[in-house]
Structure 1
């Protein structure tokens, strides 16, 4: 076991320069009182913390923090890749769908891209994921029970039908349907100031729990029935941090997972949740549609931060409650400051393989 490097705290200082000049001679017969000038103290800088990443921003420098989150159901098949702006999302959920495949549910808040996509249809687990974030939910159709559950959360539901009179969605001509539906996320976010910003869910620290209490790993892989999601430690540049800092780099089925524009998908944290799935909803055409059982439930959480691994637990109360991570003893499990991917692994159909460094004997 070894400890990772500490993330340096950002310190701002203000320097106030003052000056004076020699007094003018005043005739004694017309002398008057000299006014005393009191300089106002320089105000202390105020920082706002992004609730979904733990990143601090100087007040007034990030207008997105005062606006609602935008979450969306995003395709994750070969035809749907590369996706747009995954590295801009604060949190990305990998969820199981029918046929052994997966779809993504990113949540954008502290960094809002111009466009997101390709957008696909809603699934049964989505309501319990998006409910704590409030804001806007973007999707493309779906079965009535799944749409009704998402609508009951109170989020703004945004699809082609609701956006007919707006300039918020478009069909990308370079792609074929149904993998060509995109939404203008910044515009959507700005149109709904009545929606509140998201509540904090995970807890963050400069030295995360996996670094202080866990072990180093060289790779880990989640094998879904029809997909392999592989993460390897490396370095990346994040807008909020240093030019090069520890990161997890993502591969899918042995190939680099690239987003639109060619950048490989990276994350500061990856949380692999062991979740029981409900298979009771059976579609006549597609078969059983899995639903992760999150509400009033708990399970094992495998947490990876800055090249280190720590086993903990996850729990979620009601639909509106965020997912919480805890150490084995019940204390909060902290993540590295930055973005997070959450892989919802359905047991026993999916498996996690963790590779640790080889021990070299002297």
Structure 2
């Protein structure tokens, strides 16, 4: 009798739930999200070794400033427009410190916003417009310019201001309260599905032509048609298309300094493995990581290794 009652109850439930009342569908499975780099991997390169204190160096990239020193050892390199259509590099070191880095030049307003995502890195630079004194003094960086650490700099061959070089080890040693590497939004892993061939890519930052060529899992880099990185180049190149605004800072002839706006959202191309993926970059505020998302809503993953970010006019 008990068994019969139980069976009847079960049958009743089945009949009731298969009636005319609609049954709510199950929610769709969430899209997979690339995980943050593991604790034993660098969040800046995706390679073994979490890295040490972060040092950013502002490097001359005018024709007179090349070839540079030490840039090949950087985890991340930002290529930014400055006055006169030329560019400067913001080289970020954490995994490896070269014996020398430079030529060291002045920083720009763009650098402070970019570096806010890194927490509190050291920033090596030589001079700045007086209007930016407040930014560097109150910004999320530890300044280690020649004014603070004169003994960490030397003059090399060539003419000033294109011949100043910093000792990264001495610069990091002099910096107090510098943050270690942290998540700035890069996601490393297998290449996304699809992608378009991109073995040879031409971009323009300011008015400076940038030529990229895929070779052996990396990219070679040339500026103004002259090779600058021919081996051990970036494994991933991010072409981040951003608004370029005129800042309140002017050069000696009165031209306004361009500022690359890296807070907001815009189009992005991610180059890796000789292919291009397009998507959207997004960053809600200066202290937040930048996300790079494909058309399918999934993260655009980077190849493990050095990352270069070209801040191109969007």
Change (3 A) 1:282 1:142: closer
Structure 1 distance, partners of 2:288, 2:148, is: 27
TM-score (structure 1 length as normaliser): 0.71
- Match of residue 21 from structure 2: none
- Structure 2 match to 1:168: 152
User: How much does 1:217 deviate?
Assistant: 1.9
Distance (whole Å) between structure 1 residues aligned to residue 223 and residue 137 of structure 2: 32
Report SS of the residue matched to 1:336.
Answer: coil
Q: What per-residue deviation string (whole Å, max 9, x for no partner) do you get for residues 19-64 of structure 1? A: xxxxxxxxxxxxxxxxxxxxxxxxxxx971112001124xxxx8xx
CA distance in 1, matches of 2:47, 2:227: 27
Structure 1 segment 121-136 matched on structure 2, within 5 A: 121-133=106-118, 134-136=120-122
The answer to whether 1:190 aligns with 2:173 is: yes
SS of 1:289 mapped into structure 2: strand
Tell me the residue number matched to 2:35.
Answer: none
When the two chains are superposed, the root-mean-square deviation of aligned CA atoms in Å is 2.0
Match in the other structure for 1:300: 267
- Equivalent residues in 2 for 1:47-62 (5 A)? 48-57=40-49
1:202 touches 1:334 (CA, 8 Å); kept in 2? no
- Against the structure 1 CA distance between its residues 151 and 332, is the aligned structure 2 distance closer, same or farther, given a 3 Å change threshold? farther
Cα-to-partner distance string for 1:105-163 (whole Å, 9 max, x where unaligned): 11011111121110111111110011222220001111123232233223210111111
**Partners of 1:217 and 1:307 within 8 A in 2:** yes
Q: 1:346 to 1:227 in 2, by over 3 A?
A: same
Alignment match of 1:205 (pick from 170, 175, 188): 188
1:254 and 1:122 map into 2 onto residues whose CA distance is 25
- Distance in 2, Cα, partners of 1:264 & 1:190: 30
> What secondary structure sits across from 1:162 in the alignment?
coil
- Partner of 2:201, secondary structure, is strand
Question: Counterparts of 2:92 and 2:221 in 1: how far apart (Å)?
Answer: 18
What is the Cα deviation at residue 304 of structure 1? Answer: 0.2
Question: Partner of 2:163 in structure 1?
Answer: 180
Distance in 2 between the 1:182 and 1:112 partners? 13
Distance 1:150 1:324 in 2: 26
Q: Which residue of 1 aligns with 2:199?
A: 218
Decide which moves more: 188-197 or 330-339. Answer: 188-197
Counterpart CA distance in 1 for 2:89 and 2:57 is 8
Matched residues, number: 275
Query: Judging changes above 3 Å, is the alpha-carbon distance between structure 1 residues 290 and 331 closer, same or farther for their aligned structure 2 residues?
Result: same
For the Cα contact (< 8 Å) 2:205–2:311, is it kept in 1?
no
Q: Secondary structure at the match of 2:84?
A: helix
State the partner residue of 1:279.
246
From 258, 277, 290, the counterpart of 2:258: 290
* Match of residue 312 from structure 2: 345
Distance 1:251 1:71, change over 3 A: same
Structure 1 residues 285 and 231: alpha-carbon distance in aligned structure 2, compared to 1, 3 A threshold:
same
Contact 2:82/2:206, CA 8 A, preserved across alignment = no
* Cα contact 1:203–1:332 (8 A) shared by 2: no
Runs of 4+ off more than 4 Å: none
- Matched with 1:249 is 220
The offset of 1:101, in angstroms, is 1.2
Unaligned runs of 5+ in 1: 1-45, 236-245, 348-362
Alignment of 1:327-342 (within 5 A): 327-342=294-309
Contact map agreement 1:96 1:346 (CA 8 A) in 2: no
Q: CA deviation at 1:292?
A: 1.1
2-structure distance, mates of 1:138, 1:96 = 18
1:108 to 93, 108, 128: 93
**1:159 has 2:176 as partner:** no
Q: Check if 1:119 corresponds to 2:116.
A: no
Q: TM-score scaled by structure 2?
A: 0.82
* Distance (Å, rounded) in 2 between the aligned partners of 1:305 and 1:152: 37
Show the counterpart of 1:92: 77
More deviation, 328-337/124-133: 328-337
